[in-house]
Structure 1
Amino acid sequence: MECRREENLKRCNCTYEPCPKKGLCCECLKYHLSLRQLPGCCFPPEAERTYDRSFEHFARLVSEGRI
């Protein structure tokens, strides 16, 4: 399967500019899961900008009804 990097970049909301994984969703997901995190695309923009990608942060946002 070929990566659709250009198409993925249109939907990528990651604000970490030097990220080499932008648009490479499979690599991004593998990286973040290895750190017990979710990628930025799982978070609303204001939460993504905090760079707290932890499962715990995601759970807090869900419990607050922000996701």
Structure 2
Amino acid sequence: MLGVSPMECRKDKNLARCTCTYEPCEKKGLCCECVVYHRSRGELPGCFFPPEAERTYDRSVGAFIRACQKR
């Protein structure tokens, strides 16, 4: 593959699709870092949540399950 290796971050493209509303986040658009950070805390990234649940900033697995059950 020419240009970008499969593991190279595409921050500009990621930012265009990022649904996280936590503004001081330094991992925004750096999906690999975001996933590693949240998993190390037993959480899920904000982009996994529906918008109304994401805005609570509760990234716990329990919050994710509750949000999915409401759908």
Given the two structures, how large is their TM-score scaled by the length of structure 1?
A: 0.90
Are 1:48 and 2:54 matched, yes or no? yes
- State how 1:21-60 maps to structure 2 within 5 Å: 21-60=27-66
- Does residue 1:3 correspond to 2:15, yes or no? no
3-state SS of 1:51 partner: coil
Gaps of 5+ in 1: none
Letter of the 2:44 counterpart: L
TM-fit CA distance, 1:62: 1.9
In structure 2, C-alpha distance between the alignment counterparts of 1:44 and 1:59, rounded to whole Å: 11
Q: Provide structure 2 residue ranges, at least 5 long, that are not aligned to the other structure.
A: 1-6
Q: Which amino acid aligns with 2:9?
A: C
| TM-align CA RMSD | 0.9
Q: Answer with 1 or 2: which has the greater Rg.
A: 2
TM-score, structure 2 as length reference: 0.85
8 Å CA contact 2:35, 2:44 repeated in 1: yes
Quick one: percent identity of the two aligned structures? 66
Runs of 4+ that moved beyond 4 A: none
Number of residue pairs aligned between Structure 1 and Structure 2: 65
User: Shift of residue 63 of structure 1?
Assistant: 2.3
